Structure 1
Amino acid sequence: MTRRRDVLALALAAAAAAGLRPAAAQGTASLDRIRQSGRLRIGVTSAEPWFFKDPMAGTWSGVGVDLGRQLASDLGVAMVPVETSWANCVAAIQADQIDVMFVLDPTEERRKAIDFPDSPLFYYAAGALVRPDQTATAWSDLDKSGTRIGVTLGTSVDRTVTETLKNASISRFSNNDEAVAAFAAKRVDAVAQFHPALVVQYARLKLGKVVLLKPVTPVATSAGIRRAADPAFKDWLSERFAALYAAGKPQEYFAAYLKTRGIDPATVPGLAREKWA
């Protein structure tokens, strides 16, 4: 009887250990799993020029989508867009709902929960969409009591504005479009986002002006992935990001998207900091 109990206890322990393995194995073999599944699941959310969903066709386009297609092609798999939000994407990565979220800045807080490739994806800078009569040239010019600033909840711009502006009133919105809609409705006086997103929003609204507020600090954006003991997926993305940036692919995708919105890419700062004036 004792022997049977010992055998049963060992069996239960083995089953429990096996029950823990899938989560670990899931992280340690993510690159193999993607190839075996035949799918690269990318997070998408309403945020031009990175992600845009055609309301009629239901299809996604944008810089992040083009990057996803390129990397999926490199892996020999299909790209699958999975809707999320900036505020929820880290949890979606942890829950294995998506494999990668492009244009996600590697903040210290996010690094506590997920991982990022070592090579940057590309660069941008925080700016603001302001009223035509606004003379702000620095962040301090907006940091005044009574000034209402709109930001997108959960973004690194949200964090930066919160840390930098102590006197202005900050309103947080679930996505970029909602923040700009509040600007159009005069519920906020300015919208703080990264400059590529602001350029697209301005072209659509024809309202206000886009300014890169001083100090202009290049921000290296990246892509969020699950933390794993096996660095194969992280290392592969790092190599591909470096190669794509060197080949000018992010800027190529950005320029192509701007043209679909009637914007001349030569008139706005691009995604390569080396070419900024």
Structure 2
Amino acid sequence: MLKLLLCILILFIHAVSACELKVGVREYPPYSHKDSEGTWSGIDIDIFNYLMAEIKCDKEYIEVSFGQGVQLLKDGKLDGLSQMSITQDRLKAIEFIGPIRSETLSLITSNEVIETITTFKNIAGLPYFFGKRKGTYIGEEFNELVRKNQVFASKFIEMDNANPRIDLVIKGRVVGFFDEQRFNKYMLDNSHKYINMKVQPLKINNGLVKNSKYSELKSIK
């Protein structure tokens, strides 16, 4: 079955007065990756390149952390950003273009975790701490448990967007974290830092993103 992929193209609602757009990107293979010469490539980059060619606009890729990118987008200092889920708060200031794909998060942990984690409720009874990146949307069930279950909420340490979460696993501060499942698979296959990591059965499907219209982009079909 063909899956619509989660919208990665998010444009600040008051931007695009001139045909020169600033796009926030970060190291997030296979979606975006910078080579030794500073050239960006990946799935998201291909889509941005196509979009800019269609509307005949120049582009500038600006490397930012996820948290920086969200704030710069809201402030109108970026025109586009990749890898964001729709939330009601973001819809107040951000226009989503898509749908591009569905987002599925997977829980990745170190081999120190011998238990099998299939549900959020499993986590509350485990003697471990997990990382949560600031601003990451892990679904309504997760948010509801954080609000109502103090034991569950205490299992998560909020992480700085600027630092790779895997480094905190290596340092022993947490045993794992949630991330996009294709990213997790890519890192397991390609990064030596992930050699002692594994993917748990627990997955979170954040669903499909609806189409939305951006008034300056009517030429895009």
Matches within 5 A, 1:1-277: 27=14, 30=16, 33-34=18-19, 39-54=20-35, 56-117=36-97, 119-132=98-111, 133-144=114-125, 146-157=127-138, 161-165=142-146, 166=149, 167-168=151-152, 169-175=155-161, 178-203=164-189, 204=191, 205-213=194-202, 216-220=204-208, 231-233=214-216, 239=221
- Secondary structure at the residue paired with 2:90? helix
Kept in 1: contact 2:117–2:201 (CA 8 A): no
**Following TM superposition, by how much is the alpha carbon of 1:73 offset from its aligned partner in structure 2, in angstroms?**
1.8
Counterpart CA distance in 2 for 1:79 and 1:180 is 31
Residue equivalent to 1:11: none
**Following TM superposition, by how much is the alpha carbon of 1:128 offset from its aligned partner in structure 2, in angstroms?**
0.5
Q: CA RMSD in A?
A: 3.1
- Secondary structure at the residue paired with 1:126? strand
**Following TM superposition, by how much is the alpha carbon of 1:231 offset from its aligned partner in structure 2, in angstroms?**
3.8
Distance 1:221 1:155, change over 3 A: farther
Where does the alignment leave 5 or more consecutive residues of structure 1 unmatched? 1-25, 240-277
Higher relative contact order at CA 8 Å, sep ≥6: structure 1 or structure 2? 2
- For 2:173, the aligned partner's letter is R
- Secondary structure at the residue paired with 1:187? coil
TM-score under structure 2 length normalisation:
0.74
**Following TM superposition, by how much is the alpha carbon of 1:157 offset from its aligned partner in structure 2, in angstroms?**
3.0
**Following TM superposition, by how much is the alpha carbon of 1:177 offset from its aligned partner in structure 2, in angstroms?**
5.9
Deviations 1:56-101 (A, max 9, x none): 3233222222211121122233331022222232331233322111
Counterpart CA distance in 2 for 1:156 and 1:125 is 11
Where does the alignment leave 5 or more consecutive residues of structure 2 unmatched? 1-12
Counterpart CA distance in 2 for 1:159 and 1:104 is 16
- Structure with greater proportional helix content: 1
Distance 1:76 1:96, change over 3 A: same
- For 1:213, the aligned partner's letter is L
- Structure with greater proportional strand content: 2
